[in-house]
Structure 1
Amino acid sequence: MMAHRTGSKQLLRDLNKNIVLNLIAHGKSISRSELARRSGLPGATITHIVNEFISAGLINEVTEGTSGNGRPPLFLQLNAEAGYVIGVVIDVKLQEQRAQIVVCDLSCTIIHSYEKVIGEDWTPYKVVESIAEGIKQCAQEANVPLKRVLGVGVGLAGLIDSHRGICRYSPFFKWKNIELGPALEFLLHIPVRIDNDVNTLTVAERQFGVGRDMTNFLMVVVGRGVGLGVVVGGEIYRGARGGAGEFGHIKVDTREQAPLCHCGRRGCLEAFVSEYALVRAATGIDEESQTDALLQQLITRADAGDAAALKIFTDAGNILGSSLAHLIHLFDPVCIMLGRLPGKNLLLDPMKAAIACSPSLSQREEDPVQMIQSIEDSNTQWLRGAASLIVRELFQPPLYDSQPRILIDDILARTGRTPTRKRR
């Protein structure tokens, strides 16, 4: 359990800054008087903080309309170009590891993107060097000096200890206990945060998508594997060691001859509903380099009404829906957001039907769990999610001793107004 910061004048100042920054950022534009009213802070405190933010370039004064005496009123807006963040998603396609990299402003708007192909040498230090080179190249092409980058967020599949920046296990690289975050920080000299890639997608939906007003929801993604992001009380739930959300490896078939999962066990959910599982059910082929093409052929057959192809998707959808019903019982979410689904409605319709058939859930007809298919098959939201690992720290209340250095200070320190503090 994280220890709270003890009461002090510095804690009070940090909290006041956080309140003001969030009101300005989330209000789009707001006046000083409205800031004072909504924050409950004295006018003098508002004036001091606002002047500090303006001097550092963190916010701008803008005019909107006119007042009764003809003088336009002044409003405050977040300056999205006061700093930049970088998002990285490590992706795999046909056995080729790639780092998709973007530079974003503080609103997480992508201003430049870059792709770095990682070589055949997957030893940790070689991969870290390759990613660092790609980050530097992306920033250079975007004309953003690294000194203006507040931090780098990295999303990758596997078991990730986000608090320590450690990749506990990577199914693609076959890494175990690699200090990816600290290694990148050493090469780049800027903060680095890493997380499971489905968690980064979930963060993006929580901050910028349909989850902005939801404090309890689940994100489910079905692709090469099955991923789960969990939001409880407005925050991502990662578990004690970063392993929460390994939904794809719950056992749904206990038979000795159950399908083999890529994790080496039999009967995992992933072995029934993932892309390779669908292809294997149709062709008997379990060759990763052929999965994309064979899956598209299977979808085309099902769309054309092929009974055998339709049955594969129906069976997989039933199994996925029954498994999701268990999650609904455990978490009672407002909604389940669905990322990538192979064949989309081919899997979605039987999945919904299976959930509706759950005896206890069938009693919730007046208040059913929403199903929202919110993510298109593009990397944009995944990359914004990775960048959001840094942006969200800018707006988090600075309540805990173990939190990283307050990112507001990184911007304010450029003016010499804020003393340098030690990062974790």
Structure 2
Amino acid sequence: MLRWWKQLAIGFAVVLLPAAASADLLQSTHFRLNPDTADTFGGIGSSAHYGLTDAGGETAVGAGSSSSYKLGQGYVASLPQSIQLSVLPSGTYAYWPMDTGSGSQAYDVSLNNDQATLVNAPTWTTGIVGQGILLNGTSQYLYTSNAITAPTSYSLEFWFKTTTTSGGRLFGFGNNQTGASGTSDRGVYMTNSGNLSYGVTNGTNKTVTTAAGYNDGSWHFVAATLGASGLLLYVDGVKQGSDTTTTTAGTYTGYWRFGYDSLSGWPGTVTSNYFAGTLDEARVVSRQLGNSEVANDYTAGANALRGAFTIPNITPGTSQTYNVDAVVRTDAGGYDLSIQKPQPFLHTDGTTVLPDISGTISSPIAWLEGTTKGLGFGVVSGTNVEGKWGTSPNFTYAAVPSSATIYHSRSGLSGATPETTTIQYRVDTSSSQKQGTYATQIIYTATLKP
């Protein structure tokens, strides 16, 4: 079960995903219970004590501080009747929550499965949200598994905490999977004084650098983007460096890397290529994020939430849309996806409500631009999507119900291949709708079918 905060404002909308509940890790030879629930359906219970018995009779029982658990992603393929649900904004290439908690991989919970391998045993530790990865600054780092073409327009986001005075590479792209890359860019590194630099290569190295240092031992949020708006670097939600003339970077094949890579040829005084500090909540988005999106992602993390989704410019009379992907991994024969909104979208005045559209999940309606008012959702892509949801460009939409209701059902599955179902939210308001921020909680649930 996934719980999301949705905040809507006339002018923009924000969707906030809450933090993971934390609890003890339970594991045995044949299975594990992982206290990482923010991106995963794990179930809600009234007790903090859980037990699990595998097919061979082996049992593990333990007490945790939370009532929510997931079956660890690394074991999904071998566990009978397990399921994992991740809900991510469309366009997410990869998202590493850094919450695995043990072992040698930081899992990518996106559809791309670009897992990150830990080198020389970095330490699992407390993160800004859930857990994070602590690197020693001398030999430890992470590299991803998929060789990909360096993206042209993209955004990197991550959190870090450090007191290092030796600098180092935090997060970026390189042509080698391990060791020092011959070509490395699209990366953020720290100088000995704690300043952050972000650079790309396109014949020559182009960089932007912060005026302030950030090696103060506090958590900081970084967003580094490239696209039509230029080479942009944000810290804690605020733009700290920009080069609007640099909009492209060189093309080569490589890997995402965390905590280490060659910094030869890049400006600034850096003693070590290795970063000493903690990393958490890293993601790559396959487009350039806007200023408000970055600011909202920072605000979310600072409040122990996974992220924020922003729909800009909600203007009465013109509908706006935002897509999210529900990624399901299961070895069961099928599953149901449910959605609910227990409370209405409520204005900060405590009384004004943003209306729902009139359609229902059993009978969704066509969207009439300029006439349909309120908020609705539709299923715009996926496998075996019911015909009632329409086809592009004539999708149909329903109000988010107040009680859990199935909006997508799958049967006849074999194996554990991930599947994605894309939900599109659509909203418009009347000119008389009170301006301001509206908020509610939306809950997603994945349920196994044999």
With the length of structure 1 as denominator, give the TM-score of the two structures.
0.26
Which of 1 and 2 has greater Rg?
1
**Greater fraction of residues in helix:** 1
With the length of structure 2 as denominator, give the TM-score of the two structures.
0.25
Higher RCO (C-alpha under 8 Å, 6+ residues apart): 2
